[in-house]
Amino acid sequence: MQFPASQIALIVSGKIEGDPNAIVSSFGKIEEAKEGQLSFLANPKYEDYLYSTNASVIIINEDFETKQPVKATLIRVPDAYTAFATLLSKYQEIVQQQLMGIQQPVYIAKTASYGDQVFIGAFAYIGENVKIGNQTKIYPNAYIGDNVTIGNNCIIHPGVKIYHDCKIGNNVIIHAGTVIGSDGFGFAPQADGSFKKVPQIGNVVIEDNVEIGSNSTIDRATIGSTLIKSGAKLDNLIQIAHNVEIGHSTVIAAQAGISGSTKIGNSVMIGGQAGIVGHIQLGDGSKVNAQSGVSKSLEPGKAVTGSPAYDYTSALRSQAVSRKLPELEKRIKELEAIIKQLITEKTA
């Protein structure tokens, strides 16, 4: 597929500097791009490559001032990174629209139904009473359990497992190896020291425009639903326990773990490898730094770090003081020596 600079500028509402007929057919990093490729410059650290790159078209910020002549055609936009992301999304849509039909072999239960322009890859399993919306792509080796509902324009990547009764909204992307709806970790301690399994009879509900990374697990609720609200973005290797609620437009980085029945608000940011105990609440807009251990509820807008996690600003002050401890120790010893000398002179 080939696109002229004029068409690209139209998509991202940009202004062209250079040849509007410059043609690109693929993407490339600015430091490696070849003729016929589209690139972008958002980080000033890479400015030197702007003058040496072989890219045919480059997207840059509209307020960026060049210091040398640029041989590539420039497209100026308010935010180069966002514009480039938009183009990548459009390109991906075009590629995925070419995927349609049912590959063989697959298993699709007679009671299952699917909409128009869907793709179901080889060795996929579609259970009883499953409902799949229009233009959804189910890649090979995916498992869709009984009574699952999947909305329109979803992408279920290879090896994803969605257990029975779970509900997936529209425009949801679930990456390879992720498991949705496995049993929550519910076991009742017995008098003899053993543990009795508590049946997990709820489900998982994932609302619209959610993206979930590879090899993550979202457990079904004991009763009711584990809920991922619209716009949430989850990275790879994340554990979401039973009855957790993740708010709108919340982002969670890789290897974080959320314990059971915790309620996370809207627009929360959780760093990688953070651990959050069960039955607490994280208020809207709160932030949890990477590798933090959160054991208490957070008020809206609160930022915490450390394990146990505490106020982010106070933590930075503590870290600054701790770096000065050797110097402070030396000064204390000097003061002690002065005091000792003064006491000796006074009693002499």
Apex 167 CA angle, 250 and 198, nearest 5: 90
Task: Please report the pLDDT score of residue 291 as a whole number.
Answer: 96
Domain that holds residue 57: 3-97
Into how many domains does the chain fold?
3
Task: Please report the pLDDT score of residue 50 as a whole number.
Answer: 95
Task: Please report the pLDDT score of residue 317 as a whole number.
Answer: 81
CATH number, domain at 193? Answer: 2.160.10.10
Task: Please report the pLDDT score of residue 99 as a whole number.
Answer: 84
Are 81 and 175 members of one domain? no
- Which residue's entry shows tokens 């992408």? 155
Task: Please report the pLDDT score of residue 344 as a whole number.
Answer: 84
Instruction: Please tell me which residue in 157, 164, 175, 242 is annotated as part of the active site.
Output: 242
pTM of the full predicted structure?
0.81
Are 191 and 53 members of one domain? no
Q: Which of 208, 273, 291 is nearest to 237 (CA)?
A: 273
Are 41 and 85 members of one domain? yes
Are 113 and 64 members of one domain? no
Distance CA 136, CA 112 (A): 14
Domain stop point among 54, 80, 97:
97
How would you write the pLDDT of the chain (348 residues) with one tens digit per residue? 789 999 999 999 999 999 999 999 999 999 999 999 999 999 999 999 999 999 999 999 999 999 999 999 999 999 999 999 999 888 887 777 778 999 999 999 999 999 999 999 999 999 999 999 999 999 999 999 999 999 999 999 999 999 999 999 999 999 999 999 999 999 999 999 999 999 999 999 999 999 999 999 999 999 999 999 999 999 999 999 999 999 999 999 999 999 999 999 999 999 999 999 999 999 999 999 999 999 999 999 999 998 888 687 887 788 788 888 888 888 899 899 889 888 887 776
Q: Which of 65, 45, 41, 64 is nearest to 53 (CA)?
A: 41
CATH number, domain at 37? Answer: 3.40.1390.10
Are 304 and 205 members of one domain? yes
Are 169 and 240 members of one domain? yes
Are 105 and 87 members of one domain? no
Are 175 and 277 members of one domain? yes
Are 193 and 84 members of one domain? no
In the numeric block, which tokens belong to residue 298?
């957070």
Are 108 and 211 members of one domain? yes
Q: Is 242 noted as a catalytic residue in this protein?
A: yes
Distance CA 266, CA 230 (A): 10
Are 222 and 276 members of one domain? yes
Domain stop point among 97, 112, 130:
97
pLDDT in tens, 166-215: 999 999 999 999 999 999 999 999 999 999 999 999 999 999 999 999 99
Domain stop point among 44, 62, 97:
97
Are 247 and 262 members of one domain? yes
